[in-house]
Amino acid sequence: MKQPSVGVILAQIGTPAAPDAKAVRPYLRRFLSDRRIIDYPPLLWQPLLRGVILRVRPRRSARLYEQIWLPEGSPLLHHSRAQQAGLQKLLGGQFQVELGLAYSEPDMSAAMNRLEAAGVTRIVVVPLFPQYSSTTTASVYDAASFAALGRRSARGPVSKRFVPALRFVDAYHREQGYIAAMKAHLLRCLDGLDAEPDHIVLSYHGIPRRYAETGDPYPVQCEETSRLLAEAMGWEEGRWSMAYQSRFGREEWIGPSTENVLKELAGRGIRRPLIFSPGLVTDCLETLHELAVEGGEHFAAGGGTAAALHAAPCLNACAEWLAFLAGLVRTNAQGWLEE
């Protein structure tokens, strides 16, 4: 059997292995110890993380995970595996597609080892984050780079003599294929509703305002994605809103917050809102619970009806999205494929 010419790593943040505190705790410890995520000095942050946050938050998060857990396991892992399989089918035998998670299994080192065992020496890393952020894109860049080097971190010991060539896919927040995939997906979602929504909320995962003010282009790219999607869908001004979710800690984050936006809708006469997350392409806790469940509660708190809020699923493994990813990989693998 001919060996693949190019490896592909679909890069995601990660997920706990089970919906219980025992599994959530090590995942959160790895995630919240990354200075791309929380950049406070370790001497200040680690005592707070280990002494307070990891004593309380895992139990609370586990209760939320229990509500969205699938028979197949973690929703994020289940849908990511479907994306991996679908992309592999489209790309064919010249490519080998692996899934690499930054903070959980299957981790980036396992993905790298499988590719190297297959004889792959050239790898395209595809962050499953259309908009660049230091908290997501840069985190998986780090994880993939360290895995290629055979290290856990920049200070880790040298354990490999040969390091494969890596190409990192750039932000694709404004790519026509990405916008078109979301349009096709949303049109299918709208066709399945009994009544057309009277407002659309585009919700993105937030970041601290300080990160944006010191160079992270994330909010600018989110705004551009929203504008292009609204134009593609033909939404008039006032028909849609943009917001940011998942705030953590006391520091000021970019806004407006998704919670506040949802609470204000009923007062504007909106009765059937739809919420969708363009920046999260794989359903996970943030979409299945924070938007679909808590979002309904926020809408009701402002005078609406919780059940009237419809949460559109992520792109997951929809055909248009996978076709776009396949084209993105082929473009980034130019010059590497055997004739």
Tens-place pLDDT, residues 234-270: 999 999 999 999 998 889 999 999 999 999 999 999 9
Banded pLDDT at 4 (limits 50, 70, 90): confident
HSE, side-chain direction, 13 A CA sphere, residue 82: 17
How many C-beta neighbours within 10 Å does residue 67 have? 12
Domain that holds residue 235: 176-311
Banded pLDDT at 153 (limits 50, 70, 90): low
CB 11 within 8 A of CB 48: no
HSE, side-chain direction, 13 A CA sphere, residue 225: 30
HSE, side-chain direction, 13 A CA sphere, residue 122: 15
User: SS3 for 118?
Assistant: coil
Looking at residues 24-41, what average pLDDT do you find?
Answer: 96
* 201 found inside a domain: yes
Residue 213: what pLDDT?
98
Could you tell me which residues come within 8 angstroms of residue 268 by beta carbon, excluding any fewer than 6 positions away? 199
Which element (helix H / strand E) includes 165?
strand 165-168
Banded pLDDT at 115 (limits 50, 70, 90): very high
Q: How many domains does the chain have?
A: 1
- Residue 96's beta-bridge partner residues? 7
For every residue of 193-239, DSSP letters joined together read SSS--SEEEEEEE--BHHHHHTT--HHHHHHHHHHHHHHHHTPPTTS
pTM (2 decimals)?
0.95
CB 132 within 8 A of CB 139: no
Per-residue pLDDT for 57 more than 90? Answer: yes
Q: What sign has the CA pseudo-torsion 192, 230, 135, 158?
A: positive
* 255 found inside a domain: yes
Per-residue pLDDT for 1 more than 60? Answer: no
Banded pLDDT at 141 (limits 50, 70, 90): very high
**Which of the two residues, 151 and 84, has the higher pLDDT score?**
84
Query: Residue 125 CA to chain centroid, in angstroms?
Result: 15
* 281 found inside a domain: yes
Query: Residue 82 CA to chain centroid, in angstroms?
Result: 15
Cα R_g (the chain), whole angstroms: 20
* 12 found inside a domain: no
Q: What is the CATH number of the domain that holds 229?
A: 3.40.50.1400
* 95 found inside a domain: no
Could you tell me which residues come within 8 angstroms of residue 285 by beta carbon, excluding any fewer than 6 positions away? 61, 64, 65, 68, 75, 76
* 148 found inside a domain: no
* 67 found inside a domain: no
Q: Residue 273 and residue 243: Cα distance in Å, rounded?
A: 14
Query: Residue 132 CA to chain centroid, in angstroms?
Result: 11
Q: Residue 258 and residue 249: Cα distance in Å, rounded?
A: 16
* 204 found inside a domain: yes
Banded pLDDT at 11 (limits 50, 70, 90): very high
